[in-house]
Amino acid sequence: MLSRALCRYNRFDLSRLPATKRKAALALQLPQWSPYQNSNYAIVWQDGYASVWCWDNERIESDIAKQGKPLKSRNKIPETLLRAPVQTGLRLLKCLNGVEGQFWQDSQLIASRWWPHQPDQQAWVTFQRDCGIPAEQQVAASALQDLPFLLQPWGKITTLAHSGEDMPMAEIALYCTLLLVLGIATTVLSIQHFQLNRAIGLRTRELAEIKSKAGPVLAARETALNALIRLKNIDSIEPYPHPLILMAAVAQSLSPDSGAFVREWDMNGKSLKIAISSPTANVAGANYVQALEKTGHFTNIQIITDADPKLTSFSMSILPIDPEERAK
């Protein structure tokens, strides 16, 4: 009898296959599932489902040899098969070593899990969730049961060696060929995956190096773009030309030979009032109105008569900047 602590358990659904194909299909799956290099199995078939216990045969044989006593029978039976089954439900059993959680449906062992000690509530709930039991049907705790051993296993035990008896040699050869092809394909894909990952890693390092070298240039570009955005924001806030631009336009409208100059400058928002002084007391107001209009910055220009004959004032409205000019 084998302690549950030495066995792994799994249940394989082969019910959709023809009965004559199930054992062969199971024989192909078990080596992939077992973690041991030298495995042995106890298999119980029920309605197309295979309940399988697996153990490390090399370890078991070594432990038997250490005992120094010949066994009456070489059959190894997991202790789970020597505990009375139930129809449906959960239970927690005391084992030779540790405890075993079981979930049964229709007299079939759906799931089994072993713990070295009685599981806490979280581990017990996790086991039920893995069994597919809805949350509303889960139980918070289960009493630990200590059942006597049966004289005979509750199911007919077969081994992996018997699983291929019903399979023709041609079919065995076909399955072996398929496994070989699958193994070669897997190896080729693994190599390609490795090469692809290596190429990706190389390109990633090259990209990181390029980014490192381009870092100062990118930083300068980012600074310039931010400055440009700030300038555009400032321009959008002030819709009228800068006062220096307006002063230059007024200065250009003055006659260079007249000796006239701007004596007063009063700018308030979009309104401007200036006073032009001339030493000859001959300020041609109409000419200045035309000159100011030609600058393209002023409109609604009016002449204001002053008591001083050498001083002529003008009031005008400032034209906003053309949006197309602003965009340039």
CATH number at residue 273: 3.30.1360.100
Do residue 211 and residue 291 come from a single domain? Answer: no
* The two structure tokens encoding residue 133: 């039991």
pLDDT band at 9 (very low <50, low <70, confident <90, very high): very high
pLDDT (0 to 100) of residue 165: 45
Domain that holds residue 32: 4-165
Ordered strands of the 311-318 beta sheet: 261-268, 271-277, 311-318, 298-304
Do residue 269 and residue 178 come from a single domain? Answer: no
Over pLDDT 70: what percentage of the chain? Answer: 90
Do residue 32 and residue 21 come from a single domain? Answer: yes
Report the pLDDT averaged over residues 215-229: 85
Q: How many domains does the chain have?
A: 3
Do residue 31 and residue 82 come from a single domain? Answer: yes
23-46 exposure pattern, b = at least 16 Cβ within 10 A, e = fewer? bbbbbeebeeebeeeebbbbbbbe
pLDDT tens across 159-196, in order? 876 554 455 566 667 778 888 888 898 999 999 999 99
For residue 189, the cross-strand partners are none
Do residue 28 and residue 89 come from a single domain? Answer: yes
Do residue 286 and residue 321 come from a single domain? Answer: yes
Do residue 91 and residue 109 come from a single domain? Answer: yes
pLDDT (0 to 100) of residue 229: 82
Sign of CA dihedral 234, 239, 243, 248: positive
Do residue 37 and residue 120 come from a single domain? Answer: yes
Residues 6 or more apart in contact with residue 36 via CB below 8 angstroms: 54, 55, 56, 57, 58
Do residue 108 and residue 186 come from a single domain? Answer: no
pLDDT (0 to 100) of residue 164: 44
Instruction: Give yes or no for residue 99 having a pLDDT over 70.
Output: yes
Instruction: Give yes or no for residue 197 having a pLDDT over 80.
Output: yes
Length of the chain measured in residues: 328
183: exposed, middle or buried (Cβ count in 10 Å: 0-12, 13-18, 19+): exposed
In whole angstroms, give the CA distance from residue 241 to residue 320. Answer: 7
* Residue where a domain stops, chosen among 219, 236, 253: 236
* Highest averaged pLDDT of the listed ranges 24-33, 241-250, 299-308: 24-33
Report the pLDDT averaged over residues 141-168: 79
What one-character DSSP code corresponds to residue 164? Answer: T
* Residue where a domain stops, chosen among 236, 253, 287: 236
Instruction: Give yes or no for residue 74 having a pLDDT over 70.
Output: no
Instruction: Give yes or no for residue 327 having a pLDDT over 80.
Output: no
**Assign residue 209 a region: left if phi > 0, alpha if psi is -120 to 50, beta otherwise?**
alpha
Do residue 49 and residue 117 come from a single domain? Answer: yes
* The two structure tokens encoding residue 189: 């894909």
In whole angstroms, give the CA distance from residue 40 to residue 34. Answer: 9
- Under a CB-based contact definition with an 8 Å cutoff, are residues 30 and 73 in contact? no
Q: At residue 38, what are phi and psi to the nearest 5 degrees?
A: -120, 90
* Residue where a domain stops, chosen among 201, 236, 271: 236
Do residue 178 and residue 159 come from a single domain? Answer: no
Do residue 172 and residue 264 come from a single domain? Answer: no
pLDDT band at 13 (very low <50, low <70, confident <90, very high): very high
Among 22, 54, 44, residue whose Cα is nearest residue 108: 44
CA 100 to chain centre: 37
